[in-house]
Structure 1
Amino acid sequence: MSYRLFFAFRVLFVCLLAFFTAACSTNSTITRSYADPLLKKLDLNGVLVLGVAQNRENQIVFENMFVKALATHGVNAVAAHSLLPDRELTADDVIDAAKAHALDTVLVTRYIGASTDEVYHPGTIYYGVTPMYGAGYYGGFPGYYGHAYEVAYQQPVWTSNTTHEVIADLYIADTHEHMWQAVSDTIKAGSTDRLRHDIIASLIGDLKDQGLLK
């Protein structure tokens, strides 16, 4: 294999590695978070997960994903749509449903909105080097390091990053006390399911950071 071909494969490998690393990472940031230092020490069991949404289907999908994610951490989580009717609900409706099913807490998530930013990505040139052997090998710096040549060029582009903001609150069902709140900013980097996944992952990560989840 020639050196030039070897370097081209190497560049391709690095690009693919960067792509898959980005694909496995989350695009969410917790911008604000608070947990009551006393309430979070309570031994509470079970959570009713409510995703406030205008579209019932979106609510069902989001709640189911959140419940599944919490279950992997050993949490007894129940989706609100499985207990509550498809109508405008009051706080008492939600609290009563949690109590009736022995769920000590209620987790409410609400979509705040989205913002779009234009981002400029400058072009990138990837270079390879052809070694120079023979008479010029010991002939100084140019001979030793060889000649550089362009392997690939990535055009500069403008992209639009849409950030979705979600706020999550955790309450104690019996007392209505506020245990935890977090705000998640998430850049949509794929499908809507990927967006939901990233939002949930960031919120669960913060619950762990605050000591509310193992």
Structure 2
Amino acid sequence: MKTLKRFLAGLVSPVAGAWMGAALLVAGCASSTQITGTWKSPEAATTSFNRIVVTALTDNVVARQTIEAHLQTQLQQRGVTAVKSIDMQPPGLIQNNQSNPDAILEKIRGDGHNAILTVAVVDKDTETRYVPGTTMYAPMSRFGWYGSFRGYYGYMAPTLYNPGYYTQDKVYFLETNLYDAASDRLLWSAQSESYSPSSLQDFSEKFAELTVTRMQEENLIK
């Protein structure tokens, strides 16, 4: 069983460390973000939370601020009091491994929060995709081209061709966990997939909306 302390200790994989910096700014084909699966503990069957701390586990400060802000907004729109972890923990503490999970958890409980929502990238993949070329035929008049080679060639030759090419799309797999602050236990987990996100802003807004909507549907928030 995963515990909250493990995440609060500053667990940031090499992928998560840079996932929302330059990588999410790479444009590909039509981008999409979706939740691919969720798990809910039996202990959460009769529990809902109204004071949640949100934390994006990345050393990219801009990404952390953006993700946490959008999750906070979505939760607040549903009447949940939400606090960003970046407001509680200066970024330098995590970067220097100075964060103390026991002290953080004690502060979260002392401030009256009853849950912690974490987000982390657990894997990424690169898919190579072939983009086919386009062919367009441009005919002249019906009869004018038969009279000479130049006319015939001018009729048959103007086929505009753009060669195809290969491009690479980025696929990110994310894990979102909800922990009970009182028991320090994992109560809900969701796996999400983001395909070729065009920007951090667009990804973050969509991800936050999907995640919080699913939390509401599964009665984790009021």
Q: TM-score range by the shorter chain?
A: 0.5 to 0.7
> Does the 8 Å contact 1:184/1:202 carry over to 2?
no
- Other-structure match for 1:117: 127
Q: 1:155 to 1:204 in 2, by over 3 A?
A: farther
- Other-structure match for 2:113: 103
1:130-149 paired onto structure 2 within 5 Å = none
> 1:121 Cα shift?
4.8
> 1:43 Cα shift?
4.2
Amino acid at match of 2:64: Q
Equivalent position to 1:192, from 192, 195, 200:
200
Amino acid at match of 1:52: L
Equivalent position to 2:50, from 45, 49, 59:
45
Residues in 1 aligned to 2:81 and 2:71: alpha-carbon distance in whole angstroms: 12
> Does the 8 Å contact 1:188/1:195 carry over to 2?
no
Residues in 2 aligned to 1:117 and 1:101: alpha-carbon distance in whole angstroms: 44
1:125-204 paired onto structure 2 within 5 Å = 158-204=166-212
- Other-structure match for 2:81: 76
CA RMSD of aligned residues (A): 2.8
Amino-acid identity (%): 19
Where relative contact order (Cα < 8 A, 6+ residues apart) is larger, the structure is: 2
> Does the 8 Å contact 2:44/2:220 carry over to 1?
no
Superposition TM-score, scaled by structure 1 size:
0.66
Equivalent position to 1:29, from 31, 34, 47:
34
Amino acid at match of 1:50: T
Amino acid at match of 1:110: A
> 1:66 Cα shift?
1.2
Residues in 2 aligned to 1:182 and 1:64: alpha-carbon distance in whole angstroms: 19
> Does the 8 Å contact 1:95/1:106 carry over to 2?
no
- Other-structure match for 1:206: 214
- Other-structure match for 1:94: 104
Residues in 2 aligned to 1:93 and 1:80: alpha-carbon distance in whole angstroms: 13
Q: After superposition, give the CA deviation of every residue in 1:46-68 in whole Å (9 maximum; x if it has no partner).
A: 00111111122321222112101
2:42 partner SS: coil
Deviates more, 1:115-124 or 1:178-187: 115-124
Residues in 2 aligned to 1:195 and 1:35: alpha-carbon distance in whole angstroms: 24
| Stretches of structure 1 lacking an aligned partner (at least 5 in a row) | 1-24, 127-152
> Does the 8 Å contact 2:31/2:197 carry over to 1?
no
Residues in 1 aligned to 2:215 and 2:169: alpha-carbon distance in whole angstroms: 26
- Other-structure match for 1:65: 70
Structure 1 segments, 4+ long, off by >6 Å, are 123-126
1:81 partner SS: helix
